[in-house]
Amino acid sequence: MKIKQAKLEFDIEDRLSLDYGRKLRGFFANEFEDVLFHHHKENDKFRYGYPLIQYKILRGKPTVIAIGDGVSLIAENFLEIDRLTLGENEYEEPDVNLSMSNWELSVKEDVEMLPYKYEFITPWMAFNQKNFDKYKSEIQGSSDEKRVEFLSRILIGNILSFAKSIDWWVEEEIKVIPVLKDINVNFKSMNMIGFKGFFFTNIILPEDIGLGQSSSRGFGTIKEK
């Protein structure tokens, strides 16, 4: 499976925290009408599914990652941005760098060791409410084997959600081995469980995409190690 990826980086004087990802998303939602920018339809309903445009703070810089149908939208519109407003901070004529990448994605079968290793460089928000309740009541504090199995199932589901968004129907078995630790994440003034660490897998994934909950706001961003 071949896909394109666009990466739009704003070079500003400030180094921002991860929380500014949602403010970056809000800026683009106000500036551009296409549903892929803000994930809301005209009837105020939410566009469910994996986000093809994601807003992140990477190494302190506001960064937009686009894949699939989102790539052309970024490429066609980024020159219109002569001002960047993030909450109370406003940046006039920020330096903007657009880079394009091509990825050939595949799954390796019949391997004794999983050949690819990805690190979560921002916290992975693994849980919807149902999985959170199950983790707290049944998994957390149980055996390592049970915990790894539970997180593996969720992570594979996240990967399949990404694959579906780019019309990649994965027929091979996806395998993962997560090596993760719980961390507390403050999100929308609430304390939530997130995970940092890495995972081994047999599938090639594009760098800088997000997996899991709130990936449109920069959570769950991966980098190959």
Helix, coil or strand: residue 147:
helix
CB 148 within 8 A of CB 177: yes
pLDDT digits over 92-142, tens only? 999 999 999 999 999 999 998 999 999 999 999 999 999 999 999 999 888
Give, for 130, the enclosing helix (H) or strand (E): helix 129-134
CA pair distance 17, 39, nearest whole angstrom = 23
Higher per-residue confidence, 186 vs 135: 135
pLDDT digits over 150-175, tens only? 999 999 999 999 999 999 999 999 99
CA pair distance 60, 68, nearest whole angstrom = 25
Mean per-residue pLDDT, 210-219: 95
In this structure, are 30 and 84 located in the same domain?
Answer: yes
Structure tokens at 119: 């690190």
On the question of pLDDT at 43 being above 60, the answer is: no
Pairing mode, if any, of strands 222-224 and 116-124?
Answer: antiparallel
Q: Which residue range(s) make up the domain with 122? A: 116-224
CA pair distance 162, 218, nearest whole angstrom = 15
On the question of pLDDT at 39 being above 60, the answer is: no
In this structure, are 123 and 52 located in the same domain?
Answer: no
CA pair distance 178, 126, nearest whole angstrom = 12
Pairing mode, if any, of strands 2-11 and 95-104?
Answer: antiparallel
Mean per-residue pLDDT, 46-60: 85
Q: Is residue 110 part of a domain?
A: no
In this structure, are 126 and 88 located in the same domain?
Answer: no
pTM for the whole structure: 0.91
What CATH number does residue 122 fall under? Answer: 3.30.70.1900
Helix, coil or strand: residue 79:
helix
What CATH number does residue 85 fall under? Answer: 3.30.70
On the question of pLDDT at 34 being above 60, the answer is: no
Structure tokens at 129: 């409410």
